[in-house]
Amino acid sequence: MEALNSEPTQPIGIIPLGGLGEVGMNLMVYRCGEQLLVVDCGLTFPEGDTPGVDFIIPDTSYLVENRDRVLAIVITHGHEDHQGALPYIWPDLQVPVYCGAMTLGILEGKLKEHDLLGKVPLILVRQGDRVQIGPFMVHFIPVTHSIIDASALAITTPLGTLIHTGDFNIDHTPGDPRVTDLFTLADYGQRGVLALLSDSTNVGREGSTASERIAHESLAQVIPEIRGLAVVALFSSNIRRVRQVLQVAHANGRKVILNGRSLVQNVAVAREQGFLDVPPDLLIDVKAIDQHPRNKVLVISTGSQGEPNSSLVRIASGEHREIALRPGDTVILSSRFIPGNERTIWSLVNRLAHLGAQVIHENNHPRIHVSGHAPREDLKLMLALTRPRYFIPIHGELRHLHMHRDLAVEMGIPPENTLVATNGNRLELDATGLRLDGEVPHGRVFVDGKGVGDVSDIVLRDRRHLSEDGMVVAVLVVAKDTGVLLEGPELLTRGVVYEDENQDLLESARQAVQEALRLGPKGMDFGEDEEVGIQDLTVRALRRFFKKRLGRRPVVLPLVMEM
52: left (phi over 0), alpha (psi -120 to 50) or beta: left
- pLDDT of amino acid 530: 56
- Segments of 53-135 assigned E as strands: 55-58, 70-74, 97-99, 122-124, 130-133
The DSSP result for 301-346, as a single string, is: ES-TT--TT-HHHHHHTT--SS----TT-EEEE-S---TT-HHHHH
- pLDDT of amino acid 125: 97
Of 88-92, 100-104, 175-179, where does mean pLDDT reach its minimum?
Answer: 175-179
* Beta strands 70-74; 97-99: pairing state: parallel
Mean pLDDT of the region 268-294: 94
pLDDT at 556 over 70: yes
The tens digit of pLDDT for each residue in 105-152 reads: 999 999 999 999 999 999 999 999 999 999 999 999 999 999 999 999
Mean pLDDT of the region 237-260: 95
pLDDT at 455 over 60: no
The residues annotated with a catalytic role in the active site are: 199, 373
Question: Which of 353 and 482 is assigned the larger pLDDT?
Answer: 353
Question: Which of 524 and 197 is assigned the larger pLDDT?
Answer: 197
The tens digit of pLDDT for each residue in 365-391 reads: 888 888 899 999 999 999 999 999 999
CB count in 10 Å sphere of residue 156: 19
Going by pLDDT thresholds of 50, 70 and 90, the confidence category of residue 525 is low
Question: Which residues have C-beta within 8 Å of that of residue 531, sequence separation ≥ 6?
Answer: none
Domains and CATH numbers, the chain: 12-207+371-452 (3.60.15.10), 212-368 (3.40.50.10710), 470-562 (3.10.20.580)
The tens digit of pLDDT for each residue in 299-351 reads: 999 999 888 778 999 999 999 999 999 999 999 999 887 766 788 899 999 99
Mean pLDDT of the region 380-406: 97
| CA-derived radius of gyration, the chain | 29
pLDDT at 198 over 60: yes
| pTM tops 0.85 | no
* Beta strands 160-164; 150-157: pairing state: antiparallel
Q: How many helices (H) and strands (E) are present in the chain, helices listed first?
A: 15, 25
pLDDT at 51 over 70: no
In order of 50, 135, 145, 305, 346, the CA distances from 343 in angstroms are 17, 47, 26, 10, 5
520: left (phi over 0), alpha (psi -120 to 50) or beta: left
The tens digit of pLDDT for each residue in 485-505 reads: 788 788 888 888 877 888 888
